[in-house]
Amino acid sequence: MVGNLAVRRQQIGVIAAAGLAGWCFTPVFGGRALAMPLLVVCLACCAVVESCRRWPVLVPWRPLALVLGGVLGIVETLLLPTTVVGLPTPATIRALGSGLWSWRRTLESTWPAQPEPELMLFVPLLVLVACVLGVELLDRVGALGAMLPSLAVAGVSQTYDALEGSAAYVLVLCYAATAALVLLPAAARSATKRRPKRRDLAPLVAAMSLASAAAVGGLVTIGVDPMGRPPYTLQRVQSTDLPSNRPTSPLAEVAGRLLDPEAVVFRFRTDAAVDRWRLVALDDFDGTNWTTARPFLRFGAELAPGAALRSPMLTARADVEVRNLSAPWLPSQPLPRSVDASREVFVEPVGGTLYAKDRPRTYSLAWYTQRVTAHQLLHSAVDRDVRVSDLGNVPRDVAALASRAVGGRRATFQTALALERYLATHYQLVNGPDADAEDSSAGRQTVPTGHGWPQLRRFLFGEKRGTSEQFAAAYVVLARLNGIPARLVVGFRAPEDSDRDGWTTVRNHDVLVWPEVAVDGIGWWPLDPAGLASPGRQVGGGQDEVTERARAELPPPGELDDPPAPREAGEPGQGRSVPASKLTLWHWAWLLALPPVGWLVGVPVLRSLRTLRRRRQHGSAAVVGAWAEVRDRLRAHGVRVTAGTTVRDLARAAGQIADDQTVRGLEQVAWAVDRALWSPVAVDQRVVDDAWAGVRQVNRGLRRRPWAARVRATLDVRSLLSA
Amino acid sequence: MPLTRRGWAVLVLSVGSYVAGVWAGYPLFRGLAGVALGTLVVALAMTVRKPRLDIRRDVYPDRVERGKPALATLRVRNAGNRWQAPFVAYDVVGTSRSAEVAVRRLAPGAEAVSHYELPTVRRGRLTVGPLVLERADPLGLARRRLSAGGTTVLWVHPRRHPVRPTIAGRPRHHHEGRTTDDSLRGSADLRDVRPYVVGDEVRHLHWKATARVGQLMVRDYIDPDQPRLSVLLDTRPVALSPSAFEEAVEVAASVVFAAAMAGQRCRLLTPSGWDLAPTPGPTAARVLLDALTEMAQTPDNARLLPPVLTSSRAGGGSVVLVTGPVVTGWDLATLATRYRSVTAVSIGPISTAPQVQSPMVRRIVAGDAADAVRQWNLLAPGATTGVRVGVES
């Protein structure tokens, strides 16, 4: 029976370990989505294992039964819509088959991914495989081998998104607990089973020391990372082959849009202050074209704003109705949070670019907005951690212009604003078909086009007039030459006036190309050199408004001054908050340290309080208290005391470990106890004092014992408990 | 390091997990490695301390028939000055291990007594002990075996069946007739009084005869040919399979023991050259049984009958031949001409036993020892007519 119970415990441990390994996928799918399928798979496996124990004839069929039970559990939780009253249909089989590739689709998504079966099906399937292998290996290879499948599943989960900090620690502890369930020997051998329970401390002490060593070891190794490498993730590797055929860049369409200004592009409705809508962010320039090589991912359930952003975040929402957008780009915002669309939407999270192969007609977008003040913006440094691509062979005159434009100042946000002001004051915006630029031979209206080096040079040194395309491209080039990380964004300016139905219509003439610079702690911040150059410009809400206030605070060109160099990281006063995970790990360390500290401090304190309480009593109670005191003291020193031990018995027993003074003290206490308990005369204070003088004598005698014995006696918990 | 296989596996796994965790930047794997390493360190610490124990072991009885109970009493005293945590130990018995003995928690100087039964299923000389303590952690990652205390010997004698002792005749006038020369002056039976020759024992001078004859006369003591039982146990593997050999040993032990307890002189021989003839008396049975306890088959091609049985001086007593089914008529005839009574006990499949018949030889063919002894008792003199006291030689 004992062996049977142990096997059951081991099997449950193996199944629980597999479930925990599946739980490691929570950063990818979120706990709520994963909980039900994992629980059902584990329970199904438990039920099968239990049935096999009940009917041993089933044991040869156990692997098959486990697979069938687990798959049925997955079908009933994740694929219920494909079934007919819970019964699998061919559609269920197809969904299961396509679920085998869900691991790949998940890698192509942002995380947390949408909790849809076609994405998360592989997790319960992996857990099921780990359960089957674990239960079968338990009988064949042994306990440790049975843990390997779940360990492998945990490894797979980490290649998706590694658990960190407190979450990792809690999971490690839970996994270690299941491993202990599995590894504990089948026959629990108790050498002391016939002893009274109170004495049966050794197994408890052993278990406690193992558990605390495990907890401390885990805490130390999680908290101390010797190499500090970022977690390796498959997502970066896997997602690069997604969408392979990029459509034409919206940047090439800017001039064309300006020629047909009134065409409606899209409409939107929102309560938030929106100044622009972006189509695509481009950060690579090869001298001719602006592109981006950043990967596109399936839009998951929700995007996080990014750890580097330290401003308070708000969420804004808008409904968008697409009318006339040729390319599959969808109007978006810099920090998209979630998209609710009828079709699958891809996202490039860094640029905030949305993309849909099969474009939905309407969708609603939620995005993060930051609360940034102009002062904060103006005194921020640029984000040097952002890597932008090299510009290649820069024409020499452009490089010279770059340093001239900012006066050789260090790269800060003020410098970025100064550069914007430079472009706006020295160059002229063309915001539509221009009579001066009319191509008389073709009889067509034209606007300046192009964004390669020749066109930029013509803009910078020749005509000195261009559309927002040239302004933004020239700005990005000049900013990067000055060490300011900048990128090019193509999109639309949001019109201020909305229609009667509450929607706002965006037309072709709203097309805008603008530069964005990476600001430390704030992220990519949009500027508008072209808008600044236009005479009758209107300042939109949102980020434009903040930028405008910052522009107003910007000193005139001659008074610009380099701010003091930023302090090195690690110096105090930087204002950086401790990362949340580290903080919680420290909490864990405190929690772990609490029991030993409580023991070291608490036991002596409690003992002193007990002595005080005994000493404060009156009459014979005080004498009996003195007896209890010496009894507990000597018991702490290892003298055996039973219920029938008298004071004189104790004196004899104490003589073996302590000196004569202790024995004399005990005899004094014995005399007082005799007087208190047997004498017809009421106990007076003299007897009480005698008794406690005896206690002091015993204490003095015990102080002569070896220091190790005294430390043991001071920290002995049992003498405290038995009082 | 006293790590078990599981402990080594955990160590390798945790080191691998740590390296993977550091290299790939996975805190989960670093944490798992930390948990495993912490557990290993504590597991090793749990097994490192060697307890100070005084161990006394009594085995009662120290000689036991196969299959009869023998009890070991183990007294473990904590000789250290610290409490000794409870532990599980076992005794090494021969090449196997005894049942586990759980020793309770011991105060300094306290003693725990445990009893356990010793395995007596196999004949042989068993060395009991030393006590092996296994100190292990609860997860079975580290285990240290500590040997403590000395050893005791348990003799597991072959099983004995009740046997009528052989009575092959006792000569009335033992000072006449044949003598055995292999115990010169070894006996106290007066055979003759003869003139002294140089070299005779002076203490044997017969003073009355000397006075009467006028020359030095000495008593001539000789060893008369007393009735003796010689048991020849066939130890050749060609004759007996190992299981049949065990049965043969039981037959030999039964016969020898009965004869020795009846005060007869016994002699145990094997084809490989064993020849044990203890002095008759109460210790003879024990000596013979001890010898049979350690008797093993010896793979050599010796002949069945050792030369000491067939030499010209041999003969006189009775011989019991315990062997396999194949017995040649020549061997039986050789014995029959020299000994008064010859019994051939063949252990083995009855059908394969050759039908060598001789009126001088009692043949017993049996499948096992019990059957052989049953037949022996039926054939034994006195089985039906009462005990015959002696036969004239």
Q: What is the pLDDT of residue B385?
A: 36
Which tens digit of pLDDT belongs to each residue from B26-78? 999 999 999 999 999 999 988 887 778 888 888 899 999 999 999 989 899 99
Residue B111 has pLDDT above 50, yes or no: yes
Question: Given an 8 Å threshold on Cβ–Cβ distance, is A229 in contact with B138?
Answer: no
Which residues of chain B does A716 touch, with a Cβ-Cβ cutoff of 8 Å?
Answer: none
Which residues of chain A does B74 touch, with a Cβ-Cβ cutoff of 8 Å?
Answer: none
Substitution target in B28, B47, B74, B103 with the highest count of A β-carbons within 10 Å is B28
How many interchain CB pairs under 8 A, A with B?
150
Q: What is the pLDDT of residue A193?
A: 44
Question: Given an 8 Å threshold on Cβ–Cβ distance, is A165 in contact with B27?
Answer: yes
Q: Average pLDDT of A676-695?
A: 89
Residue A164 has pLDDT above 60, yes or no: yes
Q: Average pLDDT of A396-423?
A: 87
Interface of A with B in 31-70 (CB under 8 A): none
Pick from A292, A295, A277: nearest CA to A331: A277
Pick from A365, A338, A354: nearest CA to A112: A338
Question: Given an 8 Å threshold on Cβ–Cβ distance, is B25 in contact with A194?
Answer: no
Substitution target in A163, A222, A718 with the highest count of B β-carbons within 10 Å is A222
Count of helix runs (H) and strand runs (E) in chain B: 8, 18
Which tens digit of pLDDT belongs to each residue from B214-255? 999 998 877 666 667 889 999 999 888 999 999 999 999 999
A449, amino acid identity: T
| Tokens at B30, concatenated | 């670093």
CA dist B101 and B118 (Å) reads 12
Q: Return the higher-pLDDT residue of A155 and B304.
A: A155
Read out DSSP for A86-141?
Answer: TB--HHHHHHHHHHTTHHHHHHTB-SSPP--HHHHTHHHHHHHHHHHHHHHHHHHT
Interface of B with A in 349-368 (CB under 8 A): none
CA dist B356 and B323 (Å) reads 14
- Residue with tokens 């997860």, as numbered in its chain: B139
B269 in contact with chain A, both atoms CB, cutoff 8 A: no
B103 in contact with chain A, both atoms CB, cutoff 8 A: yes
The least confident of A377-381, B176-180, B284-288 is B176-180
Q: What is the pLDDT of residue A570?
A: 41
CA dist B15 and A217 (Å) reads 13
Query: What is the pLDDT confidence band of residue B170, given thresholds at 50, 70 and 90?
Result: low
Residue from the list B24, B37, B87 with its beta carbon closest to the beta carbon of A231: B24
Which residues of chain B does A718 touch, with a Cβ-Cβ cutoff of 8 Å?
Answer: none
CA dist B43 and B14 (Å) reads 15
Other CB atoms within 10 A of residue A666 CB: 29
A137 in contact with chain B, both atoms CB, cutoff 8 A: no
Strand partners, B142: B3
CA A486, A552, A312, A353: dihedral to nearest 10 degrees?
-30
Read out DSSP for A132-173?
Answer: HHHHHHHHHT-HHHHHHHHHHHHHHHHHHS---HHHHHHHHH
Closest Cα in chain A, distance from residue B105 (Å) = 7
Residue B281 has pLDDT above 80, yes or no: no
Q: Return the higher-pLDDT residue of B38 and A554.
A: B38
Interface of A with B in 162-181 (CB under 8 A): 162-165, 168-169, 171-173, 175-176, 180
List Cβ neighbours of A541 (8 Å cut-off, separation of 6 or more). Answer: A273, A274, A275
B207 in contact with chain A, both atoms CB, cutoff 8 A: no
Which residues of chain A does B44 touch, with a Cβ-Cβ cutoff of 8 Å?
Answer: none
Residue from the list B23, B26, B33 with its beta carbon closest to the beta carbon of A162: B26
CA dist A499 and A497 (Å) reads 7
CA A263, A269, A270, A274: dihedral to nearest 10 degrees?
0
Substitution target in B139, B141, B143 with the highest count of A β-carbons within 10 Å is B139
Substitution target in B39, B76, B81, B90 with the highest count of A β-carbons within 10 Å is B39
Closest Cα in chain B, distance from residue A155 (Å) = 8
CA dist B21 and A231 (Å) reads 9
Closest Cα in chain A, distance from residue B17 (Å) = 10
Is the preceding peptide bond at B130 cis, omega within 30 degrees of 0? yes
Q: What is the pLDDT of residue A190?
A: 46
Report which DSSP code applies to A294.
P
B32 in contact with chain A, both atoms CB, cutoff 8 A: yes
Query: What is the pLDDT confidence band of residue A347, given thresholds at 50, 70 and 90?
Result: confident
Over pLDDT 70: what percentage of chain B?
Answer: 85
Residue from the list B29, B34, B104 with its beta carbon closest to the beta carbon of A192: B104
CA dist A465 and A472 (Å) reads 12
| Tokens at B204, concatenated | 């044997």
Q: What is the pLDDT of residue B26?
A: 93
A709 in contact with chain B, both atoms CB, cutoff 8 A: no
Residue from the list B25, B42, B87 with its beta carbon closest to the beta carbon of A191: B87
Closest Cα in chain A, distance from residue B138 (Å) = 6
For A230, nearest residue in chain B (alpha carbons): B25
Question: Given an 8 Å threshold on Cβ–Cβ distance, is A192 in contact with B102?
Answer: yes
B81 in contact with chain A, both atoms CB, cutoff 8 A: no
Total residues found in chain B within this entry: 393
Which tens digit of pLDDT belongs to each residue from A181-215? 999 876 544 444 444 444 556 778 888 889 999 99
Residue A42 has pLDDT above 90, yes or no: yes
A518-541 burial: b if 16+ Cβ within 10 Å, else e:
bbbbbbbbbbbbbbbbbeebeebe
Report which DSSP code applies to B279.
P
Residue A26 has pLDDT above 80, yes or no: yes
List Cβ neighbours of A297 (8 Å cut-off, separation of 6 or more). Answer: A108, A109, A110, A235, A239, A242, A346, A347, A348, A349
B87 in contact with chain A, both atoms CB, cutoff 8 A: yes
